[in-house]
A and B are shown apart, each in its own frame.
Chain A
Amino acid sequence: MNARITLATAARILRQLRGDHRTVALMLVVPCVLLGLLAWLYADSPVDVFDSVGPALLGVFPLVVMFIVTSIATLRERTSGTLERLLTTPLGKGDLMLGYALAFGVMALVQAVVASAFAVWVCGLGVAGPLWLLVVIAVVDAVLGTALGLLASGFARTEFQAVQFMPAFVLPQFLLCGLIVPRDRMPGVLEAVSDVLPLSYAVDAMKDVATRTDPLGDVLPSLGVMLVWIVVALVLGSLTLRRRTP
């Protein structure tokens, strides 16, 4: 691995994104629209439901969006021949993995700032903890989505499969993350599964920031679990990425 190649790869991916205005707009606008819709939905409800669901969604969007974008982008590298060419160059598999993680991490930072600002100042989301922590969690969450997307794309041979991996990898995590049924009220087996899945920790961390004035002590362990998942997914992803293919 080589810092020059990793950074060049991240810059190249960002340039590709920059040229695609519609994708960038979708990445920034869709979370805001959904948050706004949700706030509106609960506008007349007696309890402030949005304050409990809103933060959780801030944890779901980055992961879902980055998962899809990454798995499609890397699949395109595989099918266009660009990956095959890159694998004959000094580029290391880690350079490619980290390049993607860095590039989409930057995109996630922008997305997180925009979505959090919209949730707090436009939708009136009540956040007890510091706002910057909300953004940090969103970025880690997005890099997690990228890492999982890189891993999943290793198993996808066609675009159809890559798109189907989103419900396969992400929807179970969404169902079990505690948004629909609180995690401690799930059947034992499902709660155990939920305790392993990374999205549960992203949602927990977001809820902690929203409800506690000094959430750092609760958030850091969750961030730790997410970071472990990122490393595991990136390592597994580079193992599935072979220089030699049949």
Chain B
Amino acid sequence: MTDDAIVVDDLRVVRGGREVIPGLSMTVPRGEIVGLLGPSGGGKSTLMRAVVGVQVVASGTVTVLGEAAGSPALRRRVGYLTQAPSVYADLTVRENVRYLARVVGADAAAAERAIAAVDLTDHADARAGALSGGQLSRAGLACTLVGDPDVLVLDEPTVGLDPVLRRDLWRIFRGLAADGRTLLVSSHVMDEAVRCDRLVLLRAGRVLSDSTLPGLLERTGTTDAESAFLALVDADDGRAVDPPPEGYRGRHAGEGS
């Protein structure tokens, strides 16, 4: 039995005729929080969709908890938060979470716990459509937490949240990991890197780096995730196969690439 909850092997994804992920391999160890960082359009959401089994893949395999991604046995064990809040705007928070609870076979008490975990108990009877952006994304997260899944795939769960709420949510994530849950969390906020056990930097569908934050900082000789990422991007551009077109050399001019 492997210790990796998620194994991605040579994954290739083509969307709209464009190769979004050209052959990506990575692993997510069990019981860890792995942060998926990188610019938007870098393939984070596509990779996450492949992990939960809703993405058509051109080739390669994604294995979750020893099963092929998206197989029926996994649907109770993998929780997915899409980038859109994906709640029913015309239902209350409680109705939303209770519906998802019934779908995954959890009870009403689990729904209340999930609502409390995202600090929405005071708004449980508010229509989701009347919530603020941050409350809405927390309502979506409660729907993901309610089934108590073993693997959580969270696409930008903290986007648009204030620092206090972000800290609280990361405490929840840390508690889940401590209980042996595995989390794959995407973000384009680099300062969230410090909260992850491992960081995977994704750019143009390729893994630029896969290491711990200290390892990343040491390798790049930088002091924070953002500069480390920029250093990696510059190094990546330096060895780019296709040179920039003539007349568009910009900052590459004189680099001898």
Closest to B80 in A: A88
Q: Are B103 and A89 in contact (CB under 8 A)?
A: yes
Flag A1-36 by CB within 8 Å of B: 1 or 0 each: 000110011011001100110000000000000000
Flag B46-83 by CB within 8 Å of A: 1 or 0 each: 00010011111100000000000010100110101111
Q: Are A90 and B54 in contact (CB under 8 A)?
A: no
Given A16-B91, A81-B84, A82-B87, residue A244 in contact with residue B55 (CB < 8 A): yes
Could you say which residues of chain A place their CB within 8 Å of the CB of B219? none
Q: Are B70 and A243 in contact (CB under 8 A)?
A: yes
Q: Are B86 and A245 in contact (CB under 8 A)?
A: no
Q: Are A88 and B86 in contact (CB under 8 A)?
A: no
Q: Which residues of A (133-180) have their CB < 8 Å from a CB of B?
A: none
Distance of A161 Cα from B127 Cα, bound (Å): 28
Q: A236 within 8 Å of B by Cβ?
A: no
Distance of A12 Cα from B96 Cα, bound (Å): 8
Give min CB distance, B192 to chain A, whole Å: 22
Could you say which residues of chain A place their CB within 8 Å of the CB of B75? 88-90
Given A80-B86, A88-B53, A246-B56, residue A5 in contact with residue B103 (CB < 8 A): yes
Give min CB distance, B88 to chain A, whole Å: 6
**Count of chain B residues near A, Cβ 8 A:** 38
- Please tell me the size bucket of the interface on A: 20 to 34
Closest to A77 in B: B88
Q: B252 within 8 Å of A by Cβ?
A: no
Give min CB distance, A143 to chain B, whole Å: 22
Q: Are B54 and A88 in contact (CB under 8 A)?
A: yes
Could you say which residues of chain B place their CB within 8 Å of the CB of A82? 86-88
Q: Are A244 and B53 in contact (CB under 8 A)?
A: yes
Q: A91 within 8 Å of B by Cβ?
A: yes
Q: Are B103 and A91 in contact (CB under 8 A)?
A: yes
Q: Are B16 and A88 in contact (CB under 8 A)?
A: no
Could you say which residues of chain A place their CB within 8 Å of the CB of B53? 88, 243-244
Give min CB distance, B49 to chain A, whole Å: 8
Give min CB distance, B174 to chain A, whole Å: 24
Q: Which residues of A (28-86) have their CB < 8 Å from a CB of B?
A: 80-82, 84-86
Q: A87 within 8 Å of B by Cβ?
A: yes
Distance of A11 Cα from B103 Cα, bound (Å): 12
Q: B3 within 8 Å of A by Cβ?
A: no
Could you say which residues of chain B place their CB within 8 Å of the CB of A11? 99
Could you say which residues of chain B place their CB within 8 Å of the CB of A12? 88, 91, 95, 99
Q: Contact check: which of B86, B88, B90, B99 meets A84 at CB < 8 Å?
A: B86
Q: Are A15 and B95 in contact (CB under 8 A)?
A: yes
Could you say which residues of chain A place their CB within 8 Å of the CB of B91? 12, 15-16, 19
Q: Contacts A8-B103, A85-B100, A90-B104 given; 6 further ones with Cβ under 8 A? A: A15-B91, A16-B90, A19-B127, A88-B52, A243-B54, A246-B16
- Kindly list the 10 A-B residue pairs having the minimum CB-CB distance in the complex, ordered from nearest: A81-B86, A81-B84, A8-B102, A81-B82, A12-B99, A88-B80, A88-B52, A90-B75, A85-B86, A19-B90
Provide a sorted-by-A list of 24 A–B residue pairs whose CB atoms are within 8 angstroms.
A5-B102, A5-B103, A11-B99, A12-B91, A15-B95, A16-B88, A80-B84, A80-B86, A80-B89, A81-B84, A81-B85, A84-B54, A84-B80, A85-B81, A85-B86, A88-B54, A88-B80, A90-B75, A91-B103, A243-B53, A244-B55, A244-B56, A245-B54, A246-B16
* Residue positions of A touching B, CB distance < 8 A: 4-5, 8-9, 11-12, 15-16, 19-20, 80-82, 84-91, 243-246
* Residue positions of B touching A, CB distance < 8 A: 14-16, 49, 52-57, 70, 72, 75-76, 78, 80-91, 95, 99-100, 102-105, 127, 143-144, 147
